[in-house]
Chain A
């Protein structure tokens, strides 16, 4: 196997996983940002200087100062603490959407490719779902399910179910014709074994690329839903909710919008950088399938 084809496969080990980041230092910055967000989320109670829900009417809308680095909001809550705690919601929604897209997309895609008769019908259903623009689909699902964090994950995930299924379907169709898969089949391997031994391991690296893009777009979609008041309940700190709340104070306290917005941009940008670097090191046969983002 050549380097290009071998990079990022199951047997690659830690060095091949790191190769894309060494080749492109900017991607390393992306990875560092993601790790920083992860630390913020995990150690929020330790890192946040104040209780994110503690309010003090006397210091409403104060600009950034020595005590409150990012200023305070309309209720006098510390913006820095709320930004830090909001990273938990960002990770929860991002991971939730990725898991949802993979848990639905991978089985449907692999099954459809291996059992073409039923698979053809399934893929047509996926095509029909693709006729709905993703945010519109999310809004319709929120209307049916009601606004909540879990339902945001499902509503946003539904839009990525289709793209993930199509990618997995295409990849599996291609893998099915590989010599080693055909050889294994002619030696009497059962379908379950083929999927476990040959199909799934080869899907890992392209799906990792897809996952980073889905994660990035999920951040933006979740922020949009929160902003419209149809995402996480307003009492839960999230970057989208913070922007929605501070919107009315934009002329009096423009800094309020800056920090949560920057966090969304940084996280999505970092994920895109990582996804791009991983894709460039991907098996060229698979790269074109992921060429158009989402």
Chain B
């Protein structure tokens, strides 16, 4: 087990190093001189040279990369041009919304996707299965921002049940009640992802139910619901666990649009705003943080998969 942990962690570290080279190169690939972007087009050559020197951009590219990595490892991602404060603080300010949104969304995804996927598999081939599977495919074909806009129209504008946009911190006035601001966004974001988990749960339950040990369990006379819960469901859940990392990446991507629709002060909207404001160092920092998070989640998912399924280790 431990050799596998080290091997897998090593591979993740190598991928991260390679990804960091790409993310570092990003600033240098953008058309235009980053100094002029920072100072504006009216800057004099002297000012440009001074800033170039102070930012260390006159050093060899390898040295620049190594110092960027070393700073990043110390939690320093540089300075935001727009916010005029450290990028790490900017990201931290936006993290609460995104982390809460992701957690609540993931809860919906599991609460909706897994049970309905189970029902669909248990009623395999019936009209119920066909309706549920069809609905899932439809949900996976709907643009999230479109659903979001209609949710705002119905539940905020017409019915007035929920707020349409923004999110005050749960540490501010209102406390946990502020979570209601995340209800519509999380449901919007959950819809296509719950559909994918539903289809996955259904497919893997059908796969497992064809296994010999399920036939044996049935032959032994174990009650049908016990076969489903103990033998089929527990094994089918492994596929859902392995899809967790994939779903997490999808959430990060789609949150960019959802946070924009609901005007949430999260990381996704920060990316879009930074693109509009040409605050490239912030984009670079956010991309680095998201890639690190994504690789870590995948590593944890991979390792927990091994722990959950002893058969993998026997092989």
Which chain A residues have a beta carbon within 8 Å of chain B's beta carbons?
26, 124-125, 127-129, 131-136, 139-140, 142-144, 146, 216, 220, 223-224, 227-230, 243, 247, 250-251, 254, 257, 261, 264-265, 268-269, 271-273, 276, 291-293
Contact = CB atoms under 8 A, between A and B. Distances in A.
B134 interface: yes
Given A128-B15, A143-B30, A272-B141, A136 B256 contact: yes
Interface string B133-159: 010011011111110011011000100
Q: In the A-B complex, list the 4 residue pairs whose CB atoms are closest, starting with the nearest.
A: A135-B253, A268-B141, A269-B141, A261-B146
A135 B138 contact: no
A26 B134 contact: yes
Contact of B196 (A125, A264, A293): A293
A276 B22 CA distance: 35
Given A125-B18, A142-B275, A143-B280, 20 more contacts: A131-B19, A132-B19, A133-B249, A133-B253, A133-B290, A134-B249, A135-B257, A139-B271, A139-B275, A140-B287, A216-B141, A243-B145, A257-B150, A261-B143, A261-B146, A265-B138, A265-B141, A265-B146, A271-B141, A272-B140
Given A133-B250, A136-B271, A144 B30 contact: yes
Given A144-B30, A250-B153, A291-B203, A128 B18 contact: yes
B255 to A, nearest CB: 9
Contacts of B82: none
Contacts of A292: 200, 243, 246
B31 interface: yes
A128 B22 contact: yes
The main secondary structure of chain B at its interface with chain A is: helix
Contact of A228 (B149, B196, B272): B272
A134 B145 contact: no
A261 B147 CA distance: 9
Nearest to B196: A293
A146 B243 CA distance: 33
A144 B134 contact: no
17 contacts: A26-B134, A131-B291, A139-B271, A139-B272, A140-B283, A143-B283, A223-B146, A243-B146, A250-B149, A251-B153, A261-B143, A264-B143, A265-B141, A268-B141, A269-B138, A272-B137, A292-B200
Interface in B185-203: 196, 200, 203
Given A143-B30, A228-B256, A273-B137, A131 B295 contact: yes
Nearest to A135: B253
B260 interface: yes
A257 B145 CA distance: 11
A293 B141 CA distance: 12
B153 A254 contact: yes
Nearest to A267: B141
A139 B140 contact: no
B274 to A, nearest CB: 9
Contact of A134 (B18, B143, B253, B257): B253
A228 B260 contact: yes
Contacts of A291: 203
Contacts of A136: 252-253, 256, 271, 287, 290
A140 B26 contact: yes
Contacts of B275: 139, 142-143, 230
Given A133-B252, A144-B30, A224 B143 contact: yes
Given A139-B275, A228-B257, A250-B152, A131 B283 contact: no
B305 interface: no
A194 B280 CA distance: 47
Contact of A227 (B145, B152, B290): B145
Contacts of A139: 256, 271-272, 275, 283
A132 B243 CA distance: 16
B65 interface: no
B29 interface: yes
A228 B294 CA distance: 23
B291 to A, nearest CB: 5
Given A136-B271, A257-B150, A272-B141, A224 B283 contact: no
A144 B249 contact: no
B149 A257 contact: yes
Contacts of A243: 143, 145-146, 149
A261 B252 CA distance: 22
